[in-house]
Amino acid sequence: MKNLTFSNGDVMPILGLGTWKSKPGEVYQAVLWAIEAGYRHIDCAAIYNNETEVGKALNKAFSDGLVKREDLFITSKLWNDCHRKEDVKKGLLKSLKDLQLEYLDLYLIHWPISFKKGVGFAESREQFYTYSDVPIGQTWQGMQGVKSEGLVKHIGMSNFNIAKLKEVIAVGGNGPEMNQVEMHPYLRQECLVDFCQSNGILMTAYSPLGSGDRSSSIKKDDEPNLFEDVVIKKLAEKYSITPAQVLISFSIHRGIAVIPKSVNQERIKQNLAATEVELKKEDMDQLLKIEKQYRFIDGTFFTGSHSPYQLSDLWEL
């Protein structure tokens, strides 16, 4: 499998198993199936509320000799209520305990949004911190600290736009090594990709298949279906593969890591097989020229009259 390489020479498999929306009772088996199939990259987060079960699966894989810890690349993410410098390590230690690990390969600030300690999802203005209360630079200093302690090998962020990345870079010291954002042919993020690549920041694409199984509370009735796109369907037919495999291969051909989620054994294998798909230049050109543009995870659950944040704090608008 193709890898992405960090500045110190460490590598991350370009395809990983996403665990967002994987329910307790399902994610344990999904992680084991993925490791058995050949996955060596698992993407997690505290707010997914399933890291304890992921940890049990990892422990079983290690104890059964399926894989060694050093052969796996494990990512987790700092939730919004741990953005104060003194809380970053606390958030990390909770994930390490749940995952039954001594270190993470990659730790990300999940969102550039701060909640007060103990808040899962802020529902009132009083539950938020502002950038004046907790500057992003303070959170980044906390991230630098856990890296210097050896608790994580690499640090970065998720859902950060160019302006917020510049704030982090300006802190100095260890800079961001990864930015994980929604990416697919309907949201190609060209400007953000160019900025990250020119600043030595690797990228990971989440929701590469459109995240059609997410909660109806954060979906729109008229949202498009990537699997039904004419260009994507024609390429799937051309290579006798699934639309999902076209979409996964799209990110891989851009040199961007991709983390499709599945708890179905056959689809887990199909997603892995997408690493062998060879799209031609003319195929990529077609995908890069699709006119339809759509963001599935629009971030509006963090904005509005109850919040001090705006969509411009999240995205390139």
Please give the positions annotated as active site: 48
Which residues, 6+ apart, have CB-to-CB distance to 240 below 8 Å?
none
Question: What is the residue type of 37?
Answer: A
Q: Do 270 and 261 contact (CB within 8 A), yes or no?
A: no
Which pairing describes strands 104-109 and 17-18: parallel, antiparallel, or unpaired?
Answer: unpaired
Q: Residue 131 carries which DSSP code?
A: T
Distance separating the N- and C-terminal Cα atoms of the chain? 35
Rounded to 5°, angle at Cα 19 from 316 and 93: 90
- Sequence-distant (6+) residues with CB within 8 A of 251 are 183, 184, 205, 208, 257, 258
Alpha carbon of 277 to those of 3, 119, 239, 245: distances in Å? 15, 43, 8, 8
The CA-based angle 183-91-167, given to 5 degrees, is 55
Round to whole Å and give the CA distance between 210 and 207. 5
Distance, in Å, from the CA atom of 280 to the CA atom of 269, rounded to the nearest integer, reads 23
